[in-house]
Chain A
Amino acid sequence: MYRLSKLRFGFPIILFLMLLLDGSISQNFSAHMFHYPTAMVSHLVVLWLVCGVLFEADANDFEMPIGRWAIVAGIVFDLYYTGIFGIYIFIFPLLVYLTRLLVSYIRPNFLSGLLIYFIDITVLEALGYLAGRAIHLSSMSGTDFMVNTLGPTLAFNLAMFVVLFFPIRWVYNWLK
């Protein structure tokens, strides 16, 4: 039962921790992550959301309001990090929706989770890029985006998925 579990408070707390950690990681490793021209962007918050959906599907009768928390995370991301309202507030819940859709086709485990996360990060970065182009935040060309941002970001985030999947599952089962 979601209503009675520790996840009710644990999920949002760790969600915000992940959100703030994204910024701290970007700041502390900025010399390596934003080593021009390539940029690796950390998306731990998406990792937590996606893992939430994956583990939710594992346990049968366990519905969590992940979509709603994704919207809240998107609002904070937009206001606090970018200052441009209206981008991630839509992308984060979309990713949750997309993950739920994919999970209904593929049974989630470590490997299929990795694939789903690959798709999520690609969609996230692509939509973020399109929005950035639309409001003239970036003037990067499409090929530059794929080589310099999408590639390294995917590599970094998939590595984070591999490293953090089992710890997150442990945390999740502990909270449940």
Chain B
Amino acid sequence: MQKFSFNRRLVIIIVCLIVSFALMTVSVAIRNKKSTPPLIQQFGNDIVGLTDRVVAVPANGLSGSVGAVSELLNTYQENQQLKQQVSELAQTKVRDQTLAKENKQLKQEIKLNDSLTDYTAISSAVITRTPSSWQNQVIINKGSSAGVVKNMPVMSGSGLVGRVAEVNKTNSKVELITDNNDSANRFAVQITTKSGKTVNGVLSGYNNTTGQITMNNITTKAKISKGDKVVTSGLGGVTPKGLYVGKVAKASGDDYGLSTKLNINPATDLSDLNIVTVAVTKQ
């Protein structure tokens, strides 16, 4: 009798393991291939997402007000510094507007409707974050009904933070570039060096210990110096051109000495996201 029950338990464990692996494989395959998850999953996620807002909105509001109090303490100093920057910014902004206008006119002149740099922004709030140490994933409150499509890049503050991994009707999951899984952070990026040369490359990972993004497979001999700005190149897929990624922190040879490997300091604080912007390109 004892033996029988032991065997039965073993069978249950093995069956559970097999079913678990089958389910995982199927869902990974669906995640990689399909643009949206199955309808039933979308439906469930939408319902949970709506319920979650009941919990998340007060929680986020509370933390927001606590944060506001602590920020109040160094407001004065910050104000002084920001005032200086604002006066410089006004100048840049006016020039930017003039250039954008001129650009638009020139595009009309040559009948070029949309180039790689054009995108519209959908801003959305972060509802919650996956409680997991390797899936750096946040859930935002806009989905396919607002025009979000899988693989669109997501920005926060001044820079790129991730890409849309799963789209439901009213919410979607965003994989941050700090996520180190196989498909998370492969963005085509480029650097314009001080001498005016353009260097193309692909983001290839995130270094946990230094908090820097790595960019690999650069075979050019152009000299890249510390502080060069890295932006998306708009090549391949739905990412528009010119989204700011970060600044070059260090250039070194890669593990095999064949190409250059760059460490990039990300432009935004990736561990503290509240409002994000999804960049929508017209296709």
- Interface residues, chain A, with chain B CB atoms under 8 Å away: 16-17, 20-31, 34-37, 39, 41-43, 76, 79-87, 89-90, 128-129, 131-132, 134-140, 144, 148-149, 153
Contact = CB atoms under 8 A, between A and B. Distances in A.
Contact of B208 (A31, A76, A81, A148): A148
Contacts of A34: 133, 136, 271
A16 to B, nearest CB: 7
B134 A22 contact: no
Contact of B272 (A22, A31, A41): A31
B273 A83 contact: no
Contact of A23 (B22, B28, B37, B131): B131
B182 A153 contact: no
A126 to B, nearest CB: 12
B132 interface: yes
Interface of B: 16, 19-28, 31, 37, 41, 44-45, 48-49, 51-52, 55-56, 59-60, 62-63, 126-139, 165-166, 173, 178, 180-182, 208-209, 211, 269, 271-273
A30 B268 CA distance: 14
B101 to A, nearest CB: 39
B55 A21 contact: yes
Nearest to A17: B55
B132 A81 contact: yes
Nearest to A76: B48
Given A79-B45, A153-B133, A24 B60 contact: yes
Contacts of A86: 19-24, 26-27
B48 A136 contact: no
A81 B131 contact: yes
Given A42-B131, A84-B31, A140-B180, 12 more contacts: A26-B128, A27-B127, A28-B60, A35-B271, A37-B209, A39-B134, A80-B44, A81-B128, A85-B24, A86-B20, A90-B16, A132-B135
Contacts of B165: 83
B27 A83 contact: yes
A47 to B, nearest CB: 12
Contacts of B131: 22-23, 25-26, 41-43, 81
Nearest to B49: A80
A136 B25 CA distance: 11
A20 B24 contact: no
Nearest to B211: A36
A82 B51 contact: no
Contact of B48 (A28, A30, A80, A149): A80
Contacts of B59: 21, 24-25, 27-28
Given A20-B128, A43-B131, A85 B211 contact: no
Nearest to B61: A28
A83 B128 contact: no
A128 to B, nearest CB: 7
B55 to A, nearest CB: 4
B180 A30 contact: no
Contact of B20 (A21, A42, A90): A90
A149 B134 CA distance: 9
B271 A23 contact: no
Contact of B23 (A27, A39, A85, A149): A85
A92 B131 CA distance: 14
A85 to B, nearest CB: 4
Contacts of A28: 59-60, 62-63
Contacts of B62: 28
Given A20-B56, A31-B271, A87 B128 contact: no
Contacts of B133: 34, 39, 41, 138, 148-149, 153
B132 A82 contact: yes
A30 B138 CA distance: 11
Contacts of A90: 16, 19-20
B272 A16 contact: no
A136 B181 contact: yes
